[in-house]
Amino acid sequence: MARIVMKFGGTSMAGTERIRIVAARVKREVEAGNQVAVVVSAMAGETDRLVNFCREASSLYDPREYDVVVSAGEQITSGLLAIALQAVGLKARSWMGWQLPIRTSDGHASARIGEIDTTGLVASLERGEVAVIPGFQGVASGERVTTLGRGGSDTSAVAMAAAMKADRCDIYTDVDGVYTTDPRIVPRARKLKRVTYEEMLELASVGAKVLQTRSVGLAMKEKVRVQVLSSFVDEAAPLGHAEPGTLIVSEEDLGDMERQLITGIAHDKNEAKITLTNVPDKPGAVAAIFEPLAEANINVDMIIQNIAHLKGQAAPSTDVTFTVPGADLARSLDVLGKAQGAIGYVELVHDTRVAKISVVGVGMKSHAGVASTMFKTLGERGINILAITTSEIKVSVLIEEDYTELAVRVLHTAYGLDAEDAA
């Protein structure tokens, strides 16, 4: 007998018809002899509806009251799923965040989960009841309702799995697992059987939108085995068993056979490149650029500093290029414009027509040559590299946006990731 958490997103909970399909799936896990807690999202579109009500009521809404309003969406689906589970002959009950309780920080609208009391819940599971828990919500000091921020239900599921000491946390999503790259770009992309937390973090943060990044970080910290599964496969298939989706595990749990050099290739078109020309080449100049950006809470990613040039100038100077999230571009230009005097640059140039391509894999730790294969492969196709960053398990390059799909395809082939039987 295993203890598992199943998490269903808004598309799976969108209407009673779909909720009944979820109930049938939960029933199969129970009949397989498992203790099951289900974490649910609000019906697709419901959270947006509730957020809009709050915005209409006041543009400066109190986040404590916003939490009261938006947490209702998951309250509704958890009650409905409990009813649907009883209708298929299971014992089931819902547990609101305040009933367990799921303690959180006081950071309303973006609270962080603290301690979860599972005493009542575990007793209920041991009586053979399925627990249904609204995702996204908890309770802060003073017994006020909190929510975790958009997409927080993945985090709720992982946190519940950790607190319950669950054997597995199954996340049912719109996709049926994590792929070597975006299958819309590379039809020969393969579904990964296993991926490490670290790889998943890199893949998620550079654009493979399967799980909320926070939930992956929490799973890594708490060593929760997370499985990504499709909500949309044939209802009769033995779920969580024969068609296992992708399991996210620690590096130790990765079998040697599965330990590939490169796990996946991600791309991200939401970066913007900024160049400051003729920055004085002297100590402290670079700090003068990045300190005001950090103060504005803008996350700088790739940084290149060209060699100093002297052409016709009094003092040596250099060009500094870096990337920021596209959504922060306007604010970045504003901050840097105000700091022109302090930094001493001549021109402020920006470009949003760039893309970041990353090759990710825990295997590259012990293998040289990953980066050079990447540069050579792209060079052979005439793709110019604008910037480079590396970590222990990732090499990322910035290229012109128009080459994104081509770059992903040629790298997917170069690292031997193409499936043998193409789609």
Residues forming contacts to a second copy in the complex (CB under 8 A) are 16-17, 19-20, 50, 53-54, 56-58, 60-62, 64-69, 71-73, 75-76, 78-84, 86-87, 93-94, 96, 98-99, 143-145
Minimum distance of a second copy from residue 79's CB (angstroms) = 3
> Mapping DSSP to helix (H, G, I), strand (E, B) and coil, where does residue 344 land?
coil
Separation of alpha carbons 136 and 152, rounded Å:
5
Q: Which is nearer to a second copy, 107 or 363 (CB)?
A: 107
Minimum distance of a second copy from residue 25's CB (angstroms) = 15
Minimum distance of a second copy from residue 78's CB (angstroms) = 7
Could you tell me the two tokens for 363?
A: 């295997």
Minimum distance of a second copy from residue 159's CB (angstroms) = 21
Nearest Cα to 231, choosing from 9, 16, 5, 24? Answer: 9
Minimum distance of a second copy from residue 128's CB (angstroms) = 16
Say if residues 195 and 250 touch (Cβ distance below 8 Å).
no
Nearest Cα to 193, choosing from 253, 233, 276? Answer: 253
Q: Which is nearer to a second copy, 23 or 387 (CB)?
A: 23
Separation of alpha carbons 217 and 396, rounded Å:
20
Q: Which is nearer to a second copy, 86 or 277 (CB)?
A: 86
Say if residues 198 and 251 touch (Cβ distance below 8 Å).
yes
Q: Which is nearer to a second copy, 19 or 398 (CB)?
A: 19
Side-chain-side CA neighbours of residue 296 (13 Å): 20
Handedness of CA 70, 210, 98, 125 (dihedral sign): positive
Minimum distance of a second copy from residue 113's CB (angstroms) = 20
Q: Which is nearer to a second copy, 81 or 398 (CB)?
A: 81
In our burial notation (b when 16+ CB lie closer than 10 A, e otherwise), range 114-131 reads eebebeebbebbeeebbb
How far is C-alpha 180 from the geometric centre of its chain's CA atoms? 16
Q: Which is nearer to a second copy, 152 or 245 (CB)?
A: 152
